[in-house]
Amino acid sequence: MVSSLALRVSNRCRQFNPTLTAIMKSLPPNPFAKLSLAEYGARLRKREISAESATTALLDRIDLLNPKLNAFHFVARAAALAAAREIDRQLKEGTDLGPLMGVPVAVKDLYVVDGMPTNAGSSLDVRDITPPEGSFVKALKRSGCIILGKTRTSEFALGGINFKHPVPWNPCDAKVHRMPGGSSHGSAVAMAAGLCAFSAGTDTGGSVRLPAALCGVVGHKFSSRGFSLDGIFPLSPTLDSVGTFTLSIADSALIFNTLTGKKVPAAPSPKQLKFGKPQEVFFDDLDAEVAARIAAALDALKKAGAQIADVSVPEIAEFDPVFGGIVPGELVEILGRERIEKSHDLFDAIAQSRVIAATKYPPQRLADAKNRQAELRDLVRAKMAGLDGWLAPTTPMVPGPLADHTTLMPALEWNKRALRNTRIGNVFEQCGVSLPLQTATGLPVGLQIACNGLEDAKLLSLAAAVEAVLGKATRPDMAAFL
C-alpha cells in the first residue's frame, strides 16, 4: 500500500511543481486493456512484454486510483514484484507453468494468502477460525499467477454495503459514488478499473454476479462443488462458491480450464441454443432501464436464431426462506454464539442485524432449510432438461447512488432486492455467469445465464455464444478519477 510518508512527500511535491503534478497524475496504461489473457501470454513468451513491467504498471495504477476507489485493503507491492521477477527468470530459463504464468491477479479478503492479512472484512478477531492457505490460492500460485493483494469485502460477505468500512467506488461514474454491489465489490471494482488482469471473489448469494453486473464486467460463479472451498473464510459451506471477474468469457474460460483441467467446448451457433426464461420472480419489479436493455438483448439473441421459451418454475417462490434459513444460521455456527455475544458491538450494523437475529432461530430451522434446499435443487435440475440454460437479469437495478442507502433499513432493503435474482441460483446449486450490458445512459446492466451445477464448461461455452451476439461493454475512462 502507499505509505503515509509517500503520500505526504507526493502532496508536498505537487504544491511546488505543477509540471511534476501532471506527470505524477498521468495514469500508466493498463497492459491488459487490449490484450486477452492468451494474447498477453503469447507476448510474454516472445519477450515483447515482461511480467515485471505488467505488474509494475498495475501497481502504479493501484497507487494512483485506489485512494478513491478503495478496491484494495492490502497491496503486496514488494512480494508481487519479487514474484514477477521470478516468473521472468523462469521463462528465460525455459520453465513454462502454463497459460496463467505471469498474470497479475487480485483476491478477495476471504481467501487466505500466506504473508497477507485475512480480516474477512471484519473488525472481529477471527484468527482462530481462519483456515490456512487453500486449494484455490495454491492453484493460482502453481499456475504462475502474481498476487497483487487483497480486495475489500463486506463483513463476512454478508451483502453489499458496510457502514464501518469503505464501500468501493464503482468505476462506471467518476462523479457519483454509485453502488458497486457486493460482497466481492473490491474484486469487481479492481477488474473494472484495470487494476489487475483478473480477480477472484466468492459467491454465496450473488456476491460475484451482482458486482459484476453493477460494475460492467464478466462474473463467473463456479458451481458450489466445482472447486474446493478450503482456504476460504466461510460464510455458508452449503451455498458458498468461488468465482472470477474478467473482461471476457474467453478469459473466464482460460482461467477455469487452467485451474480445473476441464476443457470448455467451442461456442455453439446461436441457432443451436434453447434457453428458458423463468416466469417467476426474475423479471418482476425491474428498473425501467434494466427492463429495456434485457428485452433488447433477448430480442437480439432471437434474431440470431436462439430459441427462448417461457418456463414456469414455481419452486423459485421458496428461495427466500430457504436462503434466509441457511446462510445466517451457518455463519452463527462458524463464528460461535459466545464470540457473537461478546463482540456484537464490533459488527457492522448490516451484519449485526442478520447475525444477531440468527442466534434466536430454533435449531431445527437450519436443518429444515438445508433439507428443503437439497430437494429444490433436484426438482429444478430435472426441470432444466431440454434447455441449455436460463436467461434473466442478473439484478433488477442499475447502480444507484450510495448516498441513498446510508441508514440501516434502506441498506437492508437494497441488499435484499439487489441480490434477489442471484440468490435463486445458489439455492438451486447452479453455476452462473453475468455478462455486461449497458443502458442507453451508459450505466451497467447484467444478463445472467444459469446452468445446472457442475456444468461450468457448458455454461462458459454458451456464454461465449451469447457474448458474440451481444458484444462486450466499453471500459470506463479511469483518467477521470485522477
Active site positions, annotated = 108, 183, 207
CA atoms within 13 A on the CB side of 413: 7
**How far does CA 357 lie from the centroid of its chain?**
27
DSSP assignments along 324-366, one per residue: HHHHHHHHHHHH-HHHHHHHGGGS-HHHHHHHHHHTTS-HHHH
Which of 470, 428, 399 is CA-nearest to residue 221?
A: 428
- Give the integer Cα–Cα distance in Å for 464 and 226: 20
- For 438-452, give the secondary structure using H, E and C: ECCCCCEEEEEEEEC
- Give the integer Cα–Cα distance in Å for 89 and 39: 20
Question: Phi first, then psi: what are they for 147, rounded to 5°?
Answer: -90, 115
The sign of the CA dihedral 418, 419, 422, 424 is negative
Give the DSSP H/E element, type plus range, for residue 67: helix 51-69
Give the DSSP H/E element, type plus range, for residue 302: helix 288-303
- Give the integer Cα–Cα distance in Å for 479 and 174: 9
CA distances from 447 to 188, 294, 432 (A): 16, 7, 10
Largest CA distance in the chain: 69
| Strand 242-246 versus strand 198-202 pairing type | antiparallel
* Residue matched to cell numbers 450473488: 206
Q: Give the amino acid at 428.
A: F
Contact 151, 186 (CB under 8 A): yes
Give the DSSP H/E element, type plus range, for residue 428: none
**How far does CA 30 lie from the centroid of its chain?**
20
Three-class SS state of 481: helix
